Amino acid sequence: MNSTEKNISLDNTKFWQKLSLKFDLRAYTMIFALIAIWIAFSVFTEGNFFTPRNLSNLSRQMSITAILAIGMVMVIVATHIDLSVGSLLGLCGGIAAILQVWYKVPTVWAITAALTVGAGMGAFHGYCVAYHRIPAFIVTLAGLMAYRGMLMGLTKGTTVAPLQPSFKIISGGYLDLTQGIILVSIGIIALILGRFSARRAKIKYGFGVRPLYLEILITAFYCTMIGMATWVLYQYEGIPYPIIIVLVLTLIFAFITNNTRFGRQVYAMGGNIEAAKLSGINVKRRTIGIFTLASLLAAVAGVISTARLNAATITAGENAELDAIAACVIGGTSLLGGAGSIPGAILGALVMASLDNGMSMMNVQPFWQFIIKGYVLLVAVWVDLNTKNK
């Protein structure tokens, strides 16, 4: 290799290092913003925000938005939108409750029916978008209205309750200390192995990486935060089951989006749909797939929400789709498509839940809560677009 080629190679390495750092700073900015929000609420609530009981409630509260956001990331990355997930959450939760309360169907079969309905509705959305070229906005807007009407009709406008203990435990149960320690230890080991495995892969293929000491410090920071969160949760009752469900779904879908052909093709569709078609990607099939998964996750959220309330109500899931979209955007998912991550969406869901929880503890009037959340979303989009332009 001559001197010119060496200089070009060095310049390329520096470029990728700067680019990686820029994306890291963008992600860490939201972490610092979340910490600032928590500190502010702790001051305004005289320390009550950081009590173990409230943090446990916060984790349970954010699980619904987080699960919806996981599915929404894939939809937005592919340059679509899904406005129906909130109403579908209510409908699927209502179906599970009706089967259990009115028809005495066992918990497993009631949940299976709810998940099947959710997946079927999502496949129908994807079919309309892929094969009939109806804009996803219109298809899912129709679903938003239709599923809310179906919920009202099926429940006859009444609250369906109470549920069996085996159903309620889905949201109300906790992992005992021994199981929690084992789970957290496995998670920390997986985190360490995953990060350094990714580092070796980048070095192998010539991509720029952080200095080793910085990688160690960042990994240690994440492990410390996991340990502290676990310690706080066990000062109350333990790790809530909904958080375990969120963590499992995060790992599964992070792997799907980052390490499978399906995931890479979804990102390719978002980057350039015509190029994706020309490269041989079955865009129609992938479109059906992402809408099916998003609606399936909405059904999961519906089951957890119904278990949490110990009832199905006609207002379940109202505006939940807006919180999910906001969580994705705050977490770095681009509304232009082609960019976004599952962990980022989870972080965005935590921000949204923290705002709800903190403002409720401060007795902030509901109209101010909507105003503040709206402008938080606006600022997040502005930062996203500004970063891209630079």
Give residue-wise pLDDT tens across range 201-217. Answer: 778 777 777 788 777 88
Answer whether residue 284 shows pLDDT above 80: yes
Give the up-direction half-sphere exposure of residue 129: CA atoms within 13 A in the CB hemisphere. 31
Answer whether residue 8 shows pLDDT above 80: no
Read off the pLDDT band of 159 (50, 70, 90). confident
What domains are there in the chain, each with its CATH number?
A: 15-40+48-176+238-389 (1.10.3470)
Which of 22-31, 65-74, 165-174, 190-199 tops mean pLDDT? 65-74
CA separation for the pair 225, 373 (Å, rounded): 26
Q: 8-14: long-range contacts at Cβ-Cβ below 8 A with a sequence spacing of 24 or more? A: 13/206, 13/208, 14/208
Exposure string of 3-21, with b = 16+ CB inside 10 Å and e = fewer, is eeeeeeeeeeeeeeeeeee
CA separation for the pair 132, 362 (Å, rounded): 48
Answer whether residue 53 shows pLDDT above 80: yes
Answer whether residue 1 shows pLDDT above 70: no
User: Hunting for tokens 């409630």 — which residue is that?
Assistant: 57
Taking residues 15-21, report their average pLDDT.
Answer: 44
- Burial class (CB within 10 angstroms; exposed 0-12, middle 13-18, buried 19+) of 228: exposed
